[in-house]
Amino acid sequence: MDARGKKRKSRRGRRRRKALQHQHPEAPEEEQTTESTTPSQPPHPKRRRMDAAPNSTNRPSFLDKMRVRLSGGHFRMINEKLYTCNGNEAFNLFKNDPQLFDVYHAGYQEQMSHWPEQPVNIIIRWLKSHSTSLIVADFGCGNASLAKNVKNKVFSIDLVSSDPSVIVCDMSHTPLDNSSVDVAVFCLSLMGTNFPNYLQEAKRVLKPRGWLLIAEVQSRFDPGNGGADPDKFCEAINKLGFSLVSKDSTNKMFLLFYFKKKEKISEVRNIEWPELKPCIYKRR
């Protein structure tokens, strides 16, 4: 081949390389053939993990799940203990370890969040429909939401509390004076095996014609499933010195009883109290 032919071949080679560069301007010249002949590679593992990261942050970690499970387990144990011991034992339990009370109430609030209606809200509405001059004793007040939502003077009573407004004591022995309150409230708080002693204390502190309001879980009054007969329960409270004004069983989760203290009470000994079925939460 003469010099003129070599020159033409060289020009054709340069034109071919320029055409390839035009198609892949970002790639270096020597990589063009491999780029066009090898199949596309999967994304780099690091990039794949980074892409998945935003979704993984929305999922609870294993430790978070374990904390929830442990917290729920502690609540169930404490709850069962409160239903199967007397008030003095429960008082000493929380006195020796006040943190247990926080664990219990955190679990209690979580359980209540699933209820379509809160019994304490019904009692709050009832109080708001009556005179604000009525003095109230809230037995087993929890976080004292009753006192925080009405204008009445409320004595909030419970086994332990960090709130200085709450009277800390065994509910069967309160520091309230005889015949000093107009309304006694038990909202899901007849838990101890000696619950009749709590009602006896309510009778002591209530004025004649004073109100006794009781809200309790429906299952505790289901005779067909091991619960107490609600009629026998009302009969026992009648013998204690109260008259049943009304009973609200419209809510599927709880019953509401409205009693009034009799003006003249004949002392009845050896009242036969029905056993209230403990409200034990199943493990989820």
Q: Is the pLDDT of residue 3 over 70?
A: no
Q: Is the pLDDT of residue 1 over 60?
A: no
Specify whether the CB–CB gap between 139 and 87 falls below 8 A. no
Other residues' Cβ atoms within 10 Å of the Cβ of residue 229: 12
The predicted pLDDT at position 70 comes to: 42
The predicted pLDDT at position 258 comes to: 98
Query: Taking residues 252-258, what's their average pLDDT?
Result: 95
Specify whether the CB–CB gap between 221 and 255 falls below 8 A. yes
Q: Where are the alpha helices (DSSP H) in the chain?
A: 3-23, 32-37, 45-56, 62-84, 87-96, 99-112, 119-128, 145-149, 195-205, 230-240
Residue 64 or 106, more confident:
106
Q: Look at residues 88, 71, 83, 116 and name the one whose alpha carbon lies nearest to residue 189.
A: 83
Query: Taking residues 201-226, what's their average pLDDT?
Result: 95
pTM, to two decimals: 0.72
Fold (CATH) for 117-261: Rossmann fold (3.40.50)
Query: Taking residues 217-231, what's their average pLDDT?
Result: 92
The predicted pLDDT at position 103 comes to: 81
The predicted pLDDT at position 166 comes to: 96
> Which residue's entry shows tokens 């664990």?
103
Query: Taking residues 158-167, what's their average pLDDT?
Result: 90
What pLDDT band is residue 62 in, cutting at 50, 70 and 90?
A: very low
Q: Which tens digit of pLDDT belongs to each residue from 21-55?
A: 544 444 434 434 444 444 445 554 444 444 444 44
What pLDDT band is residue 113 in, cutting at 50, 70 and 90?
A: confident
Helix (H, G, I), strand (E, B) or coil at 77: helix
The predicted pLDDT at position 67 comes to: 45
Domain boundaries, the chain: 117-261
Alpha-carbon span 264 to 242, nearest angstrom: 10
- Distance, CA of 214 to chain centre: 20
Per-residue CA distances from 85 to 80, 91, 93, 182 (Å) = 9, 10, 10, 29
> Which residue's entry shows tokens 């009845």?
268
Q: Look at residues 282, 273, 241, 242 and name the one whose alpha carbon lies nearest to residue 259.
A: 242
